[in-house]
Amino acid sequence: MNPHPTDFNRVMDLEQHGPDTWVGLSPQYRWGRIYGGQVVAQALWAALQTVDEEFETHSLHAYFIRGGTLTEPVRYEVDRLRNGRSFCTRAVVARQSGGAILHLSCSFQKAEEDAEVQTARMPLAPNPEDARPKPDDWPWIMERRPLDSYPGAGQSMGWVKIIDPMPDDPRLHIAGLAFTSDTVQFTAARSIHPLQVPQEQYNDKFMGASLDHAMWFHRPIRADEWHLYQWDCHGLTGARGMTVGNLFSADGTHVASIAQEVLLRERRAV
């Protein structure tokens, strides 16, 4: 295995290590620890290896337990909780030598023909081609184009996509959405904090992390095409911010709903 993959398809190239166990590697992220969306995506992909292809991912729920180190692989242990006729359920624990770094539960459903109704509406937003790229931290794998958010707004939006073309496997594109999902939401929480600081001072003033994460997948999408995340922060308490959002394809199709609680802890002098 390449010790540090540099594109999404290689990130998802997990190596099987015994029954229902896979190992994945991480790129060299500049901030020094594994990106949370990668661990969610790799855990989901490991679970998908144990599920018949007629089952489609419809939801996942994850807890980020501790930050992952870039200096060793991540081991994904899958537990086949249930195999039903319509639904099946898996649990995945992601481990490194220091212990578990993520616990993920995910559910899969056979496709069913029934009522098809969309009530969520895509917000007004500039086209991704007209939005400014974020230049600093994603020169490969994923491109983000966050849109302006203002103090007190409690909202954030941004266009995101996997950079390299992906195979047509729809299950891999769901994993691609999981990869891109741990982004953009922090701005919604930061915007309502009483302490407002410039972006370049944020790490000096705050400790931030993703705490838990949930996604519900409604309709197919290609992760290597632009999709819009829309986030709202429902409040701050106990150094935690509750963010909920919708995910839209560029044509306005509501493809997923998402929720994440973030840590937004002010650094204080001891």
Q: How many CB atoms lie within 10 A of CB 222?
A: 19
Of the candidates 26, 107, 191, 260, the residue annotated as catalytic is 260
Considering the candidates 26, 185, 210, 230, report the single residue annotated as catalytic. Answer: 210
Name which of 149, 165, 140 is nearest 230 in CA terms.
Answer: 149
Tokens for 20? 């229902």
Q: Which of 182, 191, 230, 249 is catalytic?
A: 182
Judge whether 105 counts as a catalytic residue: no
Q: Would you call 86 a catalytic residue per the annotation? A: no
In angstroms, rounded to a whole number, what is the distance separating the alpha carbons of residues 104 and 132? 33
Residues ≥6 apart with Cβ < 8 Å to 40: 60, 62, 102, 104, 178, 179, 181, 182, 213
Q: Is 260 tagged catalytic?
A: yes
Residues with a known catalytic role: 182, 210, 260
